[in-house]
Amino acid sequence: MALGYLLAVLATLASGSGSVLESVGVRRAGAYGGRSLDLIALRRQWLYFLGLGVNLLGFACASAALHRLPLFLVQSMLAFSVGVTAMISALMGFRLRAPGWGALVVGATGLVLLGVSAEPSPAQALPSQWRWILVAAAIPVAAIGLYARRHNHVWATVALAFGSGVAYSVVGISARTLHLPDAAWQLVLEPAAWSIVLHGCTAAVLFAMALQKGGPTGVSAIMFTTNTALSSFVGFVYLGDHVRDGYVTAAVAGFVLAIAGAIAVAHYSANTRQKELTAAGMRA
């Protein structure tokens, strides 16, 4: 049980710190113009690739944690990795104002409540046909991206953020139900492994497209809420996730506080950084 909590914490720390490293690499390369060609400049930014590696390490820790802990706890912790990013950014000079620190406290309180109320246990096995359905779900999710690519109205942004949240939730569900074979090569025969790869790539692309069309606060709010709510629902209804007896109220309160805190931190962090970039531009 303790190992599961440790892995979840490591996943949260890795996800948050990896995002910072990637952001620094992008900023140094000047690859934030919104064009695909801008990304070519990243090839010489080792910090960006270090960030990708750290994020992959975090994903491995999260997958291992999901074999021991329920989805509602691990997914909420991963959503709150934005708090880790905000704290590291504050140490690097991007000041987080008082409301942002308050949001961090709110989110951390929610995570404590979730940790206390969660009942560690392995997930129930999904029938084979449902594991393949999870793989096929990448098709309608990807179709959202094709639709939104041709439209610029606000609902296109909402659809992209929602699609990324759905894809990330399927990644979590697949990791929770992944069967580890005796031989590593047999993973290529495991539908959940294909689902993780397909939905992980789809989620990353849709989230990036959503950020190009809309503000980070709204996009992050929709993605975090969809991802955590959908995966938690599936965990409770189909995978046998449980809350400790007498801790239902604490679990609900913790869930709300953790997600609200993550969204609020993303909001205040984005606003603070935008103001500092604007001020820097005026001085220049």
Q: What is the pLDDT along the chain (284 residues), one digit of tens a residue?
A: 688 899 999 999 998 888 778 767 766 665 444 444 455 555 667 777 888 788 889 888 998 898 889 999 998 998 888 888 788 877 777 777 788 889 889 999 999 999 999 988 887 777 778 888 899 999 999 888 888 777 777 788 888 889 988 999 999 999 888 887 777 777 777 888 899 999 988 888 888 778 777 766 677 778 888 888 899 998 888 888 889 999 999 999 999 999 888 888 877 776 655 554 444 444 44
Q: At what angle do helices 128-136 and 154-177 cross, to 10 degrees?
A: 150
Report which of 19, 38, 18 is spatially closest to residue 29, judged by C-alpha positions. Answer: 38
* Residue whose C-alpha is closest to residue 134's, from 164, 175, 85: 175
The neighbour count for residue 2, using CB atoms within 10 Å, is 8
DSSP SS3 for 242: strand
C-alpha to C-alpha distance for 184 and 172, rounded to whole angstroms: 20
Q: What is the pTM of this model?
A: 0.79
